[in-house]
Copies of this chain bind each other. A is one copy, B any other.
Amino acid sequence: MTILDGKKTSNDIKDEIAAEVAAMKERGEKVPHLAAVLVGNDGASLTYVGSKVKACERIGFESTLLHLSEDTTEGQLLAKITDLNMNDNIDGYIVQLPLPKHIDEQKVLLAVDPDKDVDGFHPVNFGKMAQDMPVFIPATPFGIMELLKRYNVPTEGKNCVVIGRSHIVGRPMSILMSQKGNPGNSTVTLAHSRTKDLEKFTREADIIITALGVPEFLKADMVKDGVTIIDVGITRVADSSRPRGYRIAGDVDYDEVSAKAGFITPVPGGVGPMTIAMLLKNTLLARKRNREA
């Protein structure tokens, strides 16, 4: 059994990007600049945005955090988005979700310049991805593809079951895994809340990518020997033995399932760390495209 070590791999990727940035600096070029927009004071969002800014510093990117108050109006936010679109110094930016309820999230995401949409959430970028055009791939799916690639996990002709049909993980993963390419060329089944007899599908799967957010629902008797497991679930589970009173659980019962798996991502330290690394990678790509344009 091989652990798909997202922590190590994401550090490798960050080192590679840092080396490229250092070379850019030496050549006197502008380095990539990532901005993040955060509205309000949601605890988890503050943590996420904070670690993105920190990652930028570590690898030599410029970064800007636009922290707006909870009562920012939709119009004010859209004006900031326009500023970011017009600002040539910023190569890419993200709008941290969720936004406060009084703001139309869809309207805001549609306002992001697709060429700066390093999260890959704009529909034109989603459509280009689905139509096999070169584009920013959403960070989490991009991270999973990169893990499969770097560990040479066989995917061609494999039976891949994706669990969860969200716009940011399940849906794009189902597309990427069934596209031509390596990784890719899998026969993909997309399962979701309305799927009947999920075990029937998981037991036949060579690869299971689960993004359901139900802690440890995937048990050993639901998978076959040698299966590849990608666990995107991250849920806090109460645990009085831990200093914080909780632990982070994936969708997979790791102890049970890892005994049968060929490849498996741990939680934490699997898919999670890859997401930030791929956001940085997209920002680097944005900078390179701007340089060539």
Contacts and interface: CB of A to CB of B under 8 A. Distances in A.
Interface in A94-126: 106, 122-126
B189 A165 contact: no
Which of A123, A128, A130 has the most CB atoms of chain B within a 10 A radius of its CB?
A123
Contacts of A127: 122-130
Contact of A174 (B125, B129, B132, B190): B190
**How many copies, total?**
2
Contact of A192 (B124, B165, B178, B189): B178
Interface in A181-235: 185-192, 194-196, 201
Contacts of A247: none
A156 interface: yes
A194 B123 contact: no
Contacts of A196: 157, 187
A178 B156 contact: no
Range of interface residues on A (Cβ < 8 Å): 20 to 34
Given A123-B128, A124-B124, A157-B196, A165 B187 contact: no
B130 A126 contact: yes
A133 interface: yes
Contacts of A201: 187
Given A123-B127, A123-B131, A157-B196, 18 more contacts: A123-B124, A123-B126, A124-B124, A124-B127, A125-B127, A126-B127, A126-B131, A127-B129, A127-B130, A157-B195, A165-B179, A174-B178, A174-B190, A187-B189, A187-B190, A187-B201, A188-B189, A188-B190
Interface of A: 106, 122-133, 156-157, 165, 167, 171, 174-175, 178-179, 185-192, 194-196, 201
Closest 10 CB pairs of A and B: A123-B127, A127-B127, A126-B127, A124-B124, A189-B189, A185-B194, A187-B195, A123-B128, A157-B196, A178-B190
